[in-house]
Amino acid sequence: MKIFHACDIRGIAGTELTNEIAYKIGQALGVKLTGQKVVVGGDVRLSTPVLKEIIIKALLESGCDVVDIGTVATPVFYYALKATQGTGGVMVTASHNPAPYNGFKLVLGVNPVTEEDILEIKQLVEEGAQVSGKGTLTVLPIIDEYIAYTAKLAQKSQLRVVVDAGNGATSDIAPALFRTLGYDVVELYCEPDGRFPNRSPNPALAENLKGLGKKVLESGAQLGVAFDGDGDRVAFVDENGRAVDNDDIIVIVARYYLEQKPGTIIYDAKCSMVAPEQISKAGGRPIMARAGHTFSKAAFIQEKALFAGEISGHFFFSELGYDDGIFAGLKVCEFVASHGSLAELVDEIPNYILTPDIRITYKGSDKEVILDDVAEKLSQYNPNRIDGVRIEFEDGWGMIRASVTEPLFTLRFEAKTSQRLEEIIELLLSALPENIKGLVRTALPTQP
């Protein structure tokens, strides 16, 4: 079943993720969590209410004590786990995926969910595993409490900011939190609608921020903040309506925390080399994590980091203990309020020549074998195997990794000059099988 991914469970609702499979997943979770307190929430997707009801039913029949927190953003779900001291949790959401999708983000204890955990759930589903018990159900509205708690950890401001909820789960929550702190909020797409009629739920793509950029210019706002479908990812546009790379946002937020005290900052393996350079320059200790929510969270916890950032828009905070896109929006706004123009702050950060993700569809089961072969062929360059194969130089790097959520390889390259970029690309391509090499050459941007 292709709905089981490295960090969560996700697929097209009704076809890949059917009600029957959802119930079996709930039973499998009940086997692992029986007798424990389990927090359950859901986003605004049209399929969420039914899936959430099914999961709750299966958990109750498995002897779990369920806390139903209703329709919430994922950061509210994480807060509820902390506030109720729940040991398990299920958030019904497909995050940044298009409207037809849905899925489950899982919490199975204090540590992040691993690939092995997901494989175990898959095996339990295939076996039809279940336990019987009589659980309890508590309905707990918690959004107001989340807003009050989060507001205490942020600063008041009268900054004008456009909040683009993308009609997702933050539609009511984010504007309310920003206004609680005094912000002059201009709303965009802040009517909950699980069809996502105005833009894709994925704000990491610049084309999905065009409406936000236009609204920022029209309203004279200092910046714009956009959330994904469930609110755990965020993206930004500056006062000129220009989308800001999350590599730069990682640098800005790292500087904000490092101004207060020294510490460790986590960045993911797909980030520009600008991130570790600037973190070090600001007095921090940069640590690279494998790309992916679970892996960043694990590094964040293990290293007791001040802050962790991914270019996908996940940001983790030490004062919270979890990732929160809304809180990330507040932190960037605070930095802008105290340091001036976001456009100027971004423009002063060095930029090198960085390709976008080059996505190569590959449905074979031998992806890891191919990566091992690439690493062997490039062994003289001491490849970094934290996430696929990454070769690093003082003036650039290149990497190939297997996607954990889709049947494809992704490649990315960066260098300080165009010539060096071409050299690094050719070096990595020389180690690839001919069929993949040809696909990469076709997909390479003409002007990286």
Q: Which residues are catalytic?
A: 95
Structure tokens at 44: 């605004």
> At a CB cut-off of 8 Å and minimum separation 6, what does 129 contact?
27, 28, 31
Are 371 and 380 within 8 A, CB to CB? no
Distance of CA 255 to the CA centre of its chain: 21
Q: What is the largest CA-CA distance in the chain?
A: 66
> At a CB cut-off of 8 Å and minimum separation 6, what does 36 contact?
64, 65, 86, 87, 88
Q: Which of the 8 DSSP states describes residue 266?
A: E
What separation in angstroms does the CA of 418 have from each of 107, 109, 125, 411, 415? Answer: 44, 47, 50, 17, 7
Rounded-to-integer distance, Cα 323 and Cα 139, Å = 24
Are 294 and 114 within 8 A, CB to CB? yes
Amino acid type, 415: A
Distance of CA 101 to the CA centre of its chain: 16
Where helices occur in 12-166 by DSSP H, the ranges are 19-33, 48-61, 74-84, 115-127, 143-152
